[in-house]
Chain A
Amino acid sequence: MPLLKISNLQKNFDGLEVIKDISLEVEQGQVVAIIGPSGSGKSTLLRCATLLEKVDSGDILYMGEPVVYTDKQGKTCYAPHKDLKRIQSYFGLVFQNFNLFPHYSVIKNIIDAPIHVQKKSKEEALAIGRDLLARMGLADKENAYPCQLSGGQQQRVSIARALALNPKILFFDEPTSALDPELTGEILRVIKDLAAEHMTMVIVTHEMSFARDVADHIIFMDGGVIVEEGTPNQVINNPQSDRTKAFLSRFYEI
């Protein structure tokens, strides 16, 4: 059973069709990279999958459990609140601009949700939080505040915050786009380490070489549809569609 299954997803904003019939599956342990031009609907797709945006129609299932489904009359329905609460814990999302809680210290950012959402004990949450901080190379920043950290460090904290809830799948929406070029490397390295540990991830990125290195599967989106998908070798090195070719060539010119 795929960890995430999206079928025939559609989403419009005031009549503007941003997602037009997208279907995809993510298997346990898979790393999927989503690439595509600006405005192609990549963020919207992640936001629909993480319940930040309501879909118009289509199905979304996590481990076979429906978040959104189509009933017998063909109506699109969301699962009841208590099911959504449970399924919510299956995924995490790392934002482009981190969205850390500025009034909480680094460690509090990480342990607050485990304590207050998952009802873990403070000791247990602290142990998990400190372990994650060490893995992110930030063991000495435990008591710092987000405003005292570089962008790259903040993004690592936000990854640790997402991981602390032990999600089955982690979404990234352009995790390096808000960073200075010299700081992107540290984030990409963290994601590569996670991939090596078989963390299931869906990553929207503009870093083509990173996508090629880290992903098992690449999806090229344009105009709200999946234009082409396959292995990195297929999509990046031997694109079949003209739109993919045009996008990639534009990319390498820059």
Chain B
Amino acid sequence: MELPVILLKLLEGLLVSFQIFALTLIFSLPLGLIVALGRMSKNFFIRNIIKIYISIMRGTPLMLQLMVVYFGPYYIFGWTLSRDYRFIAVIIGFVLNYAAYFAEIYRGGIESMPIGQYEAAKVLGYTKTQTFMRIILPQVIKRILPSVTNEIITLIKDTSLAFVISVSEMFTAAKAIASSQASVIPYLAAGLFYYIFNYIVAFTMECVEKKFSYYR
């Protein structure tokens, strides 16, 4: 196989990796906020259910979680799902896992906010929702950006875990080509692509952080 062909196959895989990456972020960032609010809820049951969910997501390998989401419907309910379900299962697995991590980051950020901000808003007559959306959340976002960046970068590398349920993202593609060609070149090329992907994301996040640096 010619190098351009290899690269093309890898790029096809990269597109899938990118889809996993983007869809995971689009769903898990907002879901994480909702989970964080549930985790801080005054309701005993909500709070503890969320606590257990977070603990399972953080306490077991993502690879295993992906397998449970993919094979679970068949083994538990006897459902046979179409081949397309593979990709959906990957997204569900990643979103559930990352939402748990993001939730803990949000929670840390929200809990680090000084009580004076809430009190000032209350005396000024803001409603609870206004206080959260206008005063607290924007400041929390700035505070948690470095941790979120870390998590996003981990996510890029984690997309390769989709290979366990044979979703043909870049790593799966690299593995397939490497074994058929008996060559390490596909791995090296894939590594380079991951690195470039990471570099672009890290650069973007740096710009976002700069945008928030207009105040301390």
Interface residues of A (CB under 8 A from B): 50-52, 85, 88-89, 91-93, 95, 97, 99-103, 112-113, 116-118, 145-147, 161-162, 165
Given the known A-B contacts A112-B134, A145-B215, A146-B215, are A99 and B126 also in contact in the complex, defined by CB atoms under 8 Å? no
Q: Which residue of A lies closest to B123 (CB)?
A: A93
Q: How far is the CA of A163 from the CA of B179 in the complex (A)?
A: 73
Q: How far is the CA of A112 from the CA of B135 in the complex (A)?
A: 10
Q: Which stretch from B30-38, B98-106, B114-122, B184-192 is at the chain A interface? A: B114-122
Q: Within residues 90 to 132 of chain B, which ones have a CB less than 8 A from any CB in chain A?
A: 114, 116-117, 119-120, 122-126, 130
CB distance from B56 to the nearest CB of A (A): 35
B216 touches A99 (CB 8 A): no
Contacts of A93 in B (CB 8 A): 123
CB distance from B116 to the nearest CB of A (A): 4
Contacts of A103 in B (CB 8 A): 138-139, 142, 215
B215 touches A99 (CB 8 A): no
B214 touches A (CB below 8 Å): yes
Question: How many interface residues does chain B have, given as a range?
Answer: 10 to 19
The B interface, classified by DSSP as helix, strand, loop or mixed, is helix
Q: How far is the CA of A99 from the CA of B142 in the complex (A)?
A: 18
Q: Which residue of B lies closest to A145 (CB)?
A: B215
**In this complex, which of B117, B119, B124, B139 has the most chain A Cβ atoms within 10 angstroms of its Cβ?**
B124
B117 touches A116 (CB 8 A): no
Q: How far is the CA of A63 from the CA of B124 in the complex (A)?
A: 19
Contacts of B117 in A (CB 8 A): 99, 101
Q: How far is the CA of A112 from the CA of B133 in the complex (A)?
A: 13
B216 touches A102 (CB 8 A): yes
15 contacts between A and B (CB under 8 A): A51-B122, A88-B125, A92-B123, A97-B116, A99-B117, A102-B215, A103-B138, A103-B139, A117-B125, A117-B126, A117-B130, A118-B125, A145-B214, A161-B124, A162-B123
CB distance from A164 to the nearest CB of B (A): 9
**In this complex, which of A88, A95, A101 has the most chain B Cβ atoms within 10 angstroms of its Cβ?**
A101
Q: How far is the CA of A146 from the CA of B215 in the complex (A)?
A: 8
Contacts of A85 in B (CB 8 A): 125
Contacts of B126 in A (CB 8 A): 113, 116-117
**Extra inter-chain contacts (18) besides given A93-B123, A99-B117, A145-B215, CB under 8 Å:** A51-B122, A52-B119, A52-B122, A85-B125, A88-B123, A89-B125, A99-B116, A99-B119, A99-B120, A101-B117, A102-B215, A112-B134, A113-B125, A117-B126, A117-B130, A118-B125, A147-B215, A161-B124
